[in-house]
Amino acid sequence: MGLIDQLLTLYRVDSQVRGLRTRVDNAERYLRVQDRQLEQIKSDQSESELHIRQKEATASNIETERDGYTERIEKLRDELNSCTTSKQYSAVQTEMKSLKEQADELDTQALEILEELDTARGQLALVVESATERVTIRESAASDLEQRRIDVGDRLSELEDERSQAAAAVPEKALTIFNKVADDTEGDTLCEVREVSRRHREYACGSCSMELPFDAVVRLTNSDNDLVQCSGCYRILYLAESLKGELAK
């Protein structure tokens, strides 16, 4: 078997291997995206929960402080009864008024924080909901990946064996070029030469349409062992058997 035939054999099995792997790769990539999104949502959730706990602690501190004022006001109210002079009476009243103002101020603060807490709890509920949805999507992505692995598994390992055999038949230098082009073109490695005009000796790359020097066509006609690449897209060129036969006449 000439080099070109060896490469064609390798090309056919290589592109099948790549096709199957792509199905699995895509499912893996999709699952990774879901994992990252879920991680982000979980981190948003913990942040939001921490924020709520801090607000709750602040609200509780304010309430304790406010209760302290209320207690002191009650005590002063009792003292009012034991006041003997109007001066004392008015002094206690003034202090009570001032404490009441401070307690009211704390009530206002507590109310603001409770409102903020309501908003924060509403946001947390949305985050939790979106986490639940994301978990469902992630599970379905994981089972899809598993199914694809099962679907392609046996066939893929068969093809990989065939690919190794086909690759073993190709000389090292040509194989290096093949692998490089295969990676760059996602497996679209070999390409048939297109005849534009025999009379004008015009031939082109069947993939990128770059015009080929006639010398390249001559080499491909005369030898089965010349590796000729398109100078535009670097694909490995070959002649269809029928065209080759006609040109060889």
C-beta of residue 193 within 8 angstroms of C-beta of residue 243: yes
Q: Does 196 bind Zn ion (CB under 5 A)?
A: no
Which range in 11-19, 41-49, 130-138, 206-214 contacts Zn ion by CB under 5 A?
A: 206-214
52 vs 233 by CB, closer to Zn ion = 233
Q: What is the CA radius of gyration of the chain?
A: 40
Which pair of tokens denotes residue 188? 């679209």
Give dist(CA 6, CA 13) in Å, integer. 11
73-81, 97-105, 139-147, 223-231 -> range binding Zn ion (CB under 5 A): 223-231
Contact window for Zn ion (CB under 5 A) among 5-13, 28-36, 192-200, 226-234: 226-234
Q: Minimum Å distance from CB 7 to Zn ion?
A: 16
Residue 208 binds Zn ion (CB under 5 A): yes
Provide the minimum distance between the beta carbon of 229 and Zn ion in the complex, in angstroms, as a whole number: 8
Least Å distance between CB 181 and Zn ion? 10
Q: Are 8 and 238 spatial neighbours (Cβ–Cβ below 8 Å)?
A: yes
The least CB distance from residue 172 to Zn ion, in Å, is 24
Nearest to 26 by CA among 197, 159, 141: 141
Cβ proximity to Zn ion: between 91 and 208 the closer is: 208
Closest distance to Zn ion from the beta carbon of 184 (Å): 12
- Scanning 41-49, 95-103, 111-119, 198-206 for contacts with Zn ion by CB under 5 A, the matching segment is 198-206
Within 8 A by CB and 6+ apart from 155, the residues are 20
Residue count, binding to Zn ion (CB under 5 A): 7
Question: Could you say which of 103, 113, 182, 230 contacts Zn ion (CB under 5 A)?
Answer: 230
Strands 202-205 and 211-212: antiparallel
Whole-angstrom distance, CA of residue 232 vs CA of residue 66? 81
Longest Cα–Cα distance in the chain: 135
Which one of 97-105, 109-117, 146-154, 233-241 is the stretch in contact with Zn ion (CB under 5 A)? 233-241
Q: What is the dihedral of CA 105, 110, 116, 119, to 10 degrees?
A: -130
Strand 190-197 and strand 236-238: the pairing is parallel
**For residues 134 and 103, what is the distance between their CA atoms, to the nearest angstrom?**
46
Q: Least Å distance between CB 204 and Zn ion? A: 8
CB of 209 to Zn ion, least distance (A): 7
Alpha-carbon span 14 to 6, nearest angstrom: 12
Query: Does 233 sit near Zn ion (CB under 5 A)?
Result: yes
Given the rule CB under 5 A, which residues bind Zn ion? 205, 207-208, 210, 230, 232-233
